[in-house]
Structure formats: C-alpha cells, structure tokens
Structure 1
C-alpha cells in the first residue's frame, strides 16, 4: 500500500504543477478581454471558486466561499462588467489547439438543458430536453466538444432561442439579447460552431452527433467543410441502397448475414471492457454539395451496433471523403459518447447547470467560466496521465474527479468558514430573502386587485 501512496503523492505533485501552469495560461490568454485588472482578478477567483467544495454554485454561495462581503462583485462581473466574452471564448479555444499539439480531433455536438421556473429567463420555454427527461420549461444549449484519444473538452456553446422567444421584442430587450441574434435551428447553430472551430485551428477530420444532428443540411455543410461524419439515426430513418431502393434502417440491416457481424472493443468501464457487434452496408449519399461531383462521393455507409446480450440495435449514418474501415468509423462513433462525460463533469464540478442567471450576458459569461474550468481540468488530467511515472497495475489512471479532490486538498484556497464570516452571511442571506419575499407579496397583491 505504501507503494501506491507514493505513486498517488507523486501524481498529486505533478497535477498541482500542471494545474498551475494551465490555469495561468488560460488567464493570460483572456487577459486582454477585460477592461480592468480588478475584473480580471474577480474572474480568476470565480473560475477557481467553481471547483470549490460547496453545496451549490451561484453568486451567493461562491461569494461566501471566497470571503467576499456580498455577491455584488460576482454579479457585476456576470452582468455589467466590460468584458469581451466572445473574444475570450476564442482565445481559450486557441489555447486548447496549442495544447492538443496537432492531435487528430473529432468534433462532437450535443445539447443539454436546465429546468427553469419562468419564461423570463433568457431562452426559457416549453421544449424537449433529455436532461429533464421530456418536455418542460427549460433552457437548452448546444455544445461543441473537441475529442482526441486522451482528452475531451467543450470548446463552444450556443444558447438555443425558441422561435416565439426570439420574436418577442419585449423579452429580448429585458434579457439584453443582442439585435444580431435571431432565431436559428440547432443544426444551423452547430454548423456555425464547427466552421468557427476549424477557423480557430482545430485539426479535425470528423464530426459526430446523435439523432438530432442527422439533418441533411448540416451533413451537406460538413461535407463542404471537408469533414467526414458519423451521426446517429433512428430505426425508421430511410436510406437508399445501391440499386435505388429505399429502406428503413431496421429493414436495411436485415441484409447483413450472421457471419458478417464483427465484435469490437469500444472502451473500458467500471465493469470491464465494453464490446458490441458491428456491421455496415453501403448506401447512397443524399447530401452531395453543389460544388462537388456526384461520382466523387467518398464512402457512404449505414453502420449498425448490436448489444451482445440484449440484441438491441442502434444505427449511424456515416460518410468519409476517403476510404474508411469499419474500425475507424467505430472509433469516431465511440468518441461521440465522450461529450456526455464532459456534461457530467461540468454539472458535477464546475456549475454548468447551476448559474441561476436570467439575462444574456450573465448566461454567456457563466457558461464561459464553467467551460474554462472544465477545459483546464481536462487538459491537466491528460498532462498528468501522460507525463507522470507509470502507475502500478492496481491503480487506474488519474480521473477528473480524483484531480478535483487533489486540487481541493492541496492547491485551491479552501472556502472561508470562520465563525464571524459565517454568521455575517447567515444574517445577510436571511435579510435579503425577507426583502425578496415582501416584494413578491406586494407584486401579487397588485396583480390581484380588480
């Protein structure tokens, strides 16, 4: 056991140094986006504070943990401070490109939602979100992640504005939505993020997404950008075989003979190696851009995944500008699952879904700070795993949750919890809650009058 403890101690030292280097590089990258250095220092405090061991993450709880006398500095940073958050997002993306060092990247898109109690929150409306397991009042944001063999980080995000919300001038003005932001489908938002990622220097050859991102227009845009894709499709999705006949995906896959299924390893989980049966069939491409010849369509296939025990089938439409093997397509499909891990990491450790913000600037900045914290965590984990000494056979590689525990124990400033500060915040919180309750009661009384 002493050997294992020595190994963990060495990794903790390496992780602390790597975190300090990468966090400093991230703050240096966005330094020019702030008009004042005081605001920049508050942003650094907030990003580090998102990783603190607190029950929930919002301006009140973070300000208390950081030792502030009130949440006003953090609220000012989110809503009114002079800070170019769009430029900051691009600078962080360029930093990630440099850290990747030319590694092959798969761009992965997915969405996540946060339940809300009022449509006054920017972008909040009744819509479907897998995060709330159905249709409800929520905000939905589309995220784009860059995934390599060892690292996965979210590099961009866009808040989806439902059509009725985007057309409501009164709510737009109250939430501070810029005039140039209009209604756009999730597929158009995704295409814009992918194009921007390539412009910023990501060396990507593939795009991956679930059924939401299988639309023909998006796939055509990806081909125009020179990317291959592997997107999920439903059992009823229609494809065309080489003879021109149209089939639903579940019917098309019946053409695969039993011996043509191939069992492949798709990763490792807590219960061991994950393996599925895979097969593919050639299909005609239906998304050839106008500037490309139909006879140069590359590799267009329908890939099926079958659970080795239950026999449950999943389907993926794939296209590559060059000849591709089934193993290559399976690797791209499996990398799509990594964005779910980034969502879990962000919601557990960096407050991705806990902002409690209502306006455009506040949402953009809170999500940016969560993105920065998650990106530095992911890059630090990769740097520690690749540069540290080889671990014993009975120690799994360092994970992001373990890295957070190391940072909280040895690197990050612990939350302020002395008696005087705690009592001050208890009094402050209860007073403001009482004021808010009185204001709500007066508002309800005014609305109840004839």
Structure 2
C-alpha cells in the first residue's frame, strides 16, 4: 500500500534518483526518528550524507503543488464520504532567526502569545472514514516581507506571490479543492476565518454551507432581520428552554457534551447564530451558520465539532521539524509530510474496517471484570508498527559513528562561520 501511495506522485519526478529519494524521505517521516530534519532522515534512510534530501527540498526539479493535487485525489479516493467537511486552520512554526520565508514576530496559537514564527494556513478534509490535511499555504506578512524585495529574493519568494490575508489563503485552498473534485456540503473554521465576510461570501457563492466561529462582539440580525444585536447579548436573553445538550463528537475521553442554542438570523431559515456553552465552566462560543437547505440543530453541532489537531501532524510525521529557510523548501517538506499523514489516515481507516468486521466477542464470566479487549489501532501505534516492519534499521556501530562524526564536523564549520560573522559586525554596545 505504501508503494501504491508513492506511485501516485512518481510521475512528478523526471529522474529515478529524486524519485527514490522522495520515497526514502516519506518513509523516514513515518519512522520513529525523533527529529525529522534532513540530517536525521538521511541517517534513517541509510544515506551517507544529507545532500540528496537537501537537494530534494531545495533544487531538484519537481512541482510541489502538483504533488499536493495528487495527495488531495488520494485522500478523496480513500477517505471520501457523503458527510465530508473541509476545515480551515493555521499553526505556527517557531523560529530563532529572521531569514526564513515569512518569519516575523506575530501571534501564534502554538505558543499562545506573540513569538518569532512562521504561520502556515492549512485545509483539512474530515469524514466518517478519517481525516487528513490536503493543502497548505505559507502566510507572507505585508510590510516586513511583501514590500521588501531584497528579503524576498534571499528567501526565494516567487515574484507572483502577493500579500494575502489568512482568510484569503483559506478561500484559495477551498476553491482549489472544490475545483479539484472535493464534494462537501460544509466548511468550518475558527474565529480568524469566521470574522471575514469575504470568505463567507465565497462559500455562499459556491453553495457551500458553513459553521464558522466568531467573536462575542459580532452583531447579528434578530427579529426576522428587523434589529441587530451583539452575539453575547443574544445569548444573555435566552431562556433555559433554548439550550439543548448534545455531543459534538467523540473525544479522547468520550463524547464531548455541550449545551447548544441556535437563533435564526435571517428570514429564510438558512442562517443561524449557534451558541455553545460548556456545562462545567459556562464558557460560551459563537458560530455564524449558513446552510443551502434547512437543517436540524444536530447537523450544525456535528459540523461545529469537526476539528483538526496539529499535534498529531507535528508529532507523528515531523510537520514542524524542518530546518529550511527557502520558500520552495518549506512547501516541499510540508507537502511530503501531508502525503505521510494521508497514508497513515488510510491505514487507520482500514484498521477500523477490520475491527468492525471482527465477529462480536462475548464476555467470558470466568475472566476478571477489568479485563478488556484492546482499543482500535491508533495513528501512533500504526506508525510504530510501520517503523518496526517496513523501515530497515541502519544502526550498525560504524554507521552511527560515521553520522556522529559528520554532524560534529558540520557543526564546527557552522560555529566558525557564526563567530566570524559576529566578530566582523560593528559593535553596538
């Protein structure tokens, strides 16, 4: 199955060598190596040096966007279902320097504060069969990057790339997915995207429903459009009978129950303000909803509960483990990580199918009550099995010492370069 997945993108590489390197790269992303940068991936793959993998990301001729399209088709074929939902989200990649494409001090939810970071906007597909990332965009800040020609050239930012807000990038990815054959009825996302009227208008023009989070200060139409009010003011006036406890889907610790209320905000029954209340803390969250047809509250709740977690992407396939600065290299690393994630998601789906096909097991009265059957295979467990079964270990003492020696020589060269640059710089003290 892994060979079938790699065959999807094989034609994007015109030569055998980069094609083999791409295969080794993705397979190493699926391995148990802790830091999935080119050095560690090359060592895991059995290469003598990281050069081939570094060239794969930087200079080898292949189109990362074309591979992205192949991944999207792969996800649609294996995970596509009638209940599919698109999820727009973003994540930060913390950096120390100032030369990585798009890096600047900006807020990121990864750290929960303003940090020196790159921000990637992502599109995920989720259905009853599974979920996977299908597209990515690197956010390029306006003043510090888009208007700095010299900085753009050093980071390899293409001339045609212009400033675009994060909701605009999300709209571009949604449009590409719909034009590429993804058939969904809903899009969901957090407040950064729900607050953008342009994105909402785009979805409505395509006949796609949405459940998008918004701020409590968002004004909505009430009383059949005759008046407007803040979302939190509307929530304050709701009677106890307006709230309904429903599950937003299964979580790690069981069903995620919240109290939900909805208020019609239009005159056609297709627009609503959806309000979620935590039954323990009382914390409220608000969503603007629009549906091409009349739907029950339960369907809006289901869409609102659909979410993507970047922790799995970062921890399992090293989405954020890269050590690249160039625009092209960033997109290539992320794209190959998306392929690794899609393959894992497909394996999880197959594992669930296998578990469902297993005959029902009856309880044995002679066994202790606390004895239970194992849970279904998870993404971490499947990746662990892949590492043990498919990926050859290259851990001979000679190879380990070779890579240790190579890394220390490279680090010594980098240290000398840093010292020389700092000693040559004029003192500002």
TM-score, normalised on structure 2?
0.93
Q: Which residue of 2 aligns with 1:170?
A: 150
Q: Report if aligned partners of 1:104, 1:203 keep a CA contact under 8 Å in 2.
A: no
Q: Which residue of 2 aligns with 1:289?
A: none
Q: Which residue of 2 aligns with 1:36?
A: 15
Q: Report if aligned partners of 1:114, 1:132 keep a CA contact under 8 Å in 2.
A: no
**Aligned equivalents of 1:400, 1:256: Cα separation in 2:** 42
Q: Which secondary structure does the structure 1 equivalent of 2:313 belong to?
A: helix
Larger relative contact order, structure 1 or 2 (CA cutoff 8 Å, min sep 6): 1
Q: Which secondary structure does the structure 2 equivalent of 1:427 belong to?
A: helix
Q: After alignment, is 95-104 or 133-142 more displaced?
A: 95-104
Q: Which residue of 2 aligns with 1:16?
A: none
Q: Report if aligned partners of 1:265, 1:274 keep a CA contact under 8 Å in 2.
A: yes
Could you tell me which of 394, 417, 425 is aligned with 1:447? 425
Q: Which residue of 2 aligns with 1:149?
A: 128
What is the number of equivalent residue pairs in this alignment?
Answer: 413
2:92 corresponds to 1:113? yes
Q: Which residue of 1 aligns with 2:72?
A: 93
**Once the two structures are superposed, what CA deviation does each residue of 1:40-86 show, in whole Å capped at 9, x if it has no partner?**
11000000101212221111111112221111010011000011111
- Change in 2 beyond 3 A, CA 1:430/1:318: same
Unaligned runs of 5+ in 2: 362-371
Could you tell me which of 241, 245, 250 is aligned with 1:268? 250
Structure with more helix by fraction: 1
Shift of residue 104, structure 1, vs aligned partner: 2.8
- Change in 2 beyond 3 A, CA 1:256/1:449: closer
Shift of residue 254, structure 1, vs aligned partner: 2.6
2:410 corresponds to 1:432? yes
Q: Which residue of 2 aligns with 1:363?
A: 330
Q: Which secondary structure does the structure 2 equivalent of 1:33 belong to?
A: coil
2:295 corresponds to 1:324? yes
1:39-438 map, 5 Å: 39-164=18-143, 165-214=145-194, 215-241=196-222, 242-284=224-266, 299-335=270-306, 337=307, 339-340=308-309, 343-388=310-355, 389-390=357-358, 394-414=373-393, 416-438=394-416
**Aligned equivalents of 1:243, 1:228: Cα separation in 2:** 20
**Aligned equivalents of 1:334, 1:449: Cα separation in 2:** 54
**Aligned equivalents of 1:140, 1:298: Cα separation in 2:** 37
**Aligned equivalents of 1:82, 1:243: Cα separation in 2:** 56
Q: Report if aligned partners of 1:29, 1:91 keep a CA contact under 8 Å in 2.
A: yes
Q: Which secondary structure does the structure 1 equivalent of 2:119 belong to?
A: strand
- Change in 2 beyond 3 A, CA 1:113/1:449: closer
**Aligned equivalents of 2:338, 2:6: Cα separation in 1:** 13
**Once the two structures are superposed, what CA deviation does each residue of 1:289-323 show, in whole Å capped at 9, x if it has no partner?**
xxxxxx7x651000111112222111111010100
Q: Which secondary structure does the structure 1 equivalent of 2:11 belong to?
A: helix
**Aligned equivalents of 2:187, 2:30: Cα separation in 1:** 30
Q: Report if aligned partners of 1:78, 1:361 keep a CA contact under 8 Å in 2.
A: yes
**Aligned equivalents of 1:122, 1:152: Cα separation in 2:** 28
Q: Which secondary structure does the structure 2 equivalent of 1:131 belong to?
A: coil
Q: Which secondary structure does the structure 2 equivalent of 1:122 belong to?
A: coil
CA RMSD of aligned residues (A): 1.6
Q: Report if aligned partners of 2:272, 2:289 keep a CA contact under 8 Å in 1.
A: yes
4+ residue segments displaced more than 6 Å: none
Unaligned runs of 5+ in 1: 1-20, 285-294
**Aligned equivalents of 1:229, 1:301: Cα separation in 2:** 10
Q: Report if aligned partners of 2:219, 2:228 keep a CA contact under 8 Å in 1.
A: yes
**Aligned equivalents of 1:209, 1:180: Cα separation in 2:** 27
**Once the two structures are superposed, what CA deviation does each residue of 1:125-155 show, in whole Å capped at 9, x if it has no partner?**
1111100211111000000001102311000
